Structure 1
Amino acid sequence: MTTMGAGMDKREGRRRGALLAATTLVAALAVTGCGAGGDDSGARDSAGSAAKAPVVGGEAGRDAAAEAPGAAGAGAPDLRVDQRAIIYTGAMRVQVDNVDAAAREVTAVATRAGGFVGGDQRRSADADAVAELELRVPAARFTGVVDEIAKLGRQQSREISTQDVTEETVDLDARITSQRARVDSARRLLARATSIADLVSLENELGRREADLASLEAKKRRLADLTALSTVTVSLAGPAAKATEEKAETGFLVGLRGGWKAFVVSMTVLLTVLGALLPWLVALGVPLAVLLVVLRRRKSPALVAPVSAPPQVPAARSAP
């Protein structure tokens, strides 16, 4: 009995030990699973944060990309039309009833636009009068001024041309900046000159560089003036004034008319030359002719020999 009880106790102890080991193993697996779950959550959180981070970075990148062109374009030329350097030039012919009154109105139009009259030439002959005015107006008011002048009468012609000098302006700016740096360098070297030879050489070099800089700055001012103020040449013609433009014609009659005009012009030139030479011919030719006549008369007695009578031959007598 005692032996059987002991065997049962051993089996019961083994069962408890196995159960304890199984419980410990399950608990360990549970703890490991929780840690793994926590690591997975942390990994998912990290992955989520990493997934969100590119989105924020992308928005910032897009903002930076949007701002980059402005920053990068600070040194590049602006290609917008309103920022380009353009020279406007126009010429128009308008037929009006009163040339003088129209000329005064054109001057007023230019003044109201903020410009001025650069030239004024007029030929008054009642209905055949003609006036030509050169206007300088701001480039922004160029089109408005031309349209307003065209309404003063009957517009016969209009020619408008533009010249884009943006690249030339940018090039001039760069050359001016470089030339100023060269001038400053020459001045610094001149200040450190120690000998007379170096002093004279550097002064000559500085003078050349300053002259080149002045020339570039003058070109820049000229371009700035042409782009700031546009030029409009306005021709005002009276009712009877003829247009200056002539259509090209061909044919026999056209050639004959052109030849006759050339002949008339040539004869006019020839007669003009003869008229200019006639006083000299009269002043020098008449005394010279008189002198020649006098000399010829003086030489004529010596040149003409006396003529003697031929000897008379006695007539022969006839035989008886």
Structure 2
Amino acid sequence: MKYRLDDRAIIYTGSITVRVKDVGAAAAQATSIATGSGGFVGGDKRSSNDSYAEATIVLRVPAPKFGAVVDQLAKLGDQQQRDITTEDVTEEALDLDARISSQRARVDSGRRLLAQAKSLSDLVMLEGELAKREADLASLEAKKRRMDDLTALSTITVTLLAPQAEVVTEDDDEIGFMTGLKAGWTGLVGALVLLLTIVGLLLPWLIVIVPVVLGTVWLARRHHRQRLRAMPAPQTPAPTPPSP
């Protein structure tokens, strides 16, 4: 069932970070909230040690209950972050519907033509064309099912942090000596990797080309020396006797 708001097809996506006292217990509560709303758990990743615990759970919930579920998740502890996005895919949905309808008509037409085939060559040609039309229809229907799923079930990614865990944000602007040092080191490593990559790319060619070039130069010089040896020595003209 696709959820539409004012005849619009909307995809809701959200993420929320909550600091909780007990990550395991809060994860169980988050799962219960999703299943209680008619949804399910789409992914569950957890990590912990003696001083750190974190869980990232992907929830799929019915779109009409999206906002209520996010609010319930925020109450599991101290909310640190919340990010909600919406995407209006009404035009894409309508376009897919029209293309599917048209493609189904083409498939039906192909089947009728196939049933009327008079020769083996026509049969083979029409079977190939029908198979292509059916494949195109299956692809369009798969896209439509995916879109229906995204509009019917919203995705919420909830991150649960233990009290001592740090919140990492992508929007934080870090400044300072250590940040500059880290950026400089990263740039240096990247440049070295690029340089070594270029050297590795050129090395096989150099192994082949350099001996050829050196051999060619050596042969040219040898040939030049041999030509010089083969040339007759210039004769000095006899002196002209003085006039009486």
TM over 0.5: yes
1:241-280 equivalent positions in 2, closer than 5 A? 241-245=165-169, 247-252=172-177, 254-259=179-184
Q: Deviations over 1:102-150 (max 9, x none)?
A: 0000000001000000100001224520000000000000000000000
Per the alignment, residue 198 of structure 1 pairs with 122
CA distance in 2, matches of 1:100, 1:240: 15
Cα distance in 2 for partners of 1:116, 1:253 equals: 43
Match of 2:16 among 72, 77, 92: 92
Structure 1 pair 126/190, CA: closer, same or farther in 2 (3 Å)?
same
Alpha-carbon distance in 1 for matches of 2:174, 2:17? 23
Q: Say whether residues 1:216 and 2:129 are aligned partners.
A: no
- How big is the shift at 1:262? 6.9
For 1:280-295, list aligned pairs within 5 A.
Answer: none
Matches within 5 A, 1:1-320: 81-245=5-169, 247-252=172-177, 254-259=179-184
TM-score (norm 1): 0.55
Q: Give aligned-pair identity as a percent.
A: 63
Note the C-alpha offset of 1:90: 0.4
Cα pair distance change 1:191/1:152, threshold 3 Å: same
Structure 2 gap ranges (5+): 194-244
Cα distance in structure 2, aligned partners of 1:218 and 1:257: 46
The alignment partner of 1:148 has SS state of: helix
Deviation >2 Å, runs of 4+: 80-83, 249-254, 256-263
Supply the distance in 1 between the matched residues of 2:186 and 2:140 (Cα, whole angstroms): 50
| Structure number with higher relative contact order (C-alpha < 8 Å, ≥ 6 residues apart) | 2
2:137 aligned partner, one-letter code: L
Structure-1 separation of matches of 2:50 and 2:12: 33
- Aligned CA-pair RMSD: 2.0
Give 1:83 shift.
2.2
| 8 Å Cα contact 1:92/1:156 also seen in 2 | yes
- Match of 1:114, SS? coil
Residue 219 to residue 197, structure 1, CA distance change in 2 (3 Å): same
- Larger helix proportion of the pair: 1
SS in structure 2 at match of 1:85 = strand
Query: 2-side partners of 1:189 and 1:260: how far apart?
Result: 68
Distance 1:257-1:174 versus aligned 2 partners, 3 A rule: closer
For 2:185 and 2:98, the matched residues in 1 are separated by: 59
1:133 counterpart letter in structure 2: I
- Matched pairs, number: 187
Q: Residue type matched to 2:174 in 1? A: E
Kindly tell me: are residues 253 and 177 of structure 1, through their superposed partners in 2, closer, same or farther at Cα, counting changes over 3 Å?
Answer: closer
Distance of 1:87 and 1:98 partners within structure 2 = 32
1:256: how far off?
Answer: 2.8
Which stretch of structure 1 is more off in the superposition, 122-131 or 245-254?
245-254
Q: Distance in 1 between matches of 2:27 and 2:179?
A: 37
Q: Deviations over 1:256-295 (max 9, x none)?
A: 35445777x79xx9xxxxxxxxxxxxxxxxxxxxxxxxxx
For structure 1, the 5+ residue unaligned runs are 1-79, 270-320
User: Match of 1:301?
Assistant: none
SS at match of 1:242: coil
In the superposition, the TM-score normalised over structure 2's length comes to 0.72
Rate the CA distance shift 1:194–1:262 in 2: closer, same or farther, 3 A: closer
CA distance in 1, matches of 2:83, 2:142: 29
1:184 Cα deviation (Å)?
Answer: 0.7
Q: Of the two, which has the highest radius of gyration? A: 1
Alpha-carbon distance in 2 for matches of 1:111, 1:158 = 21
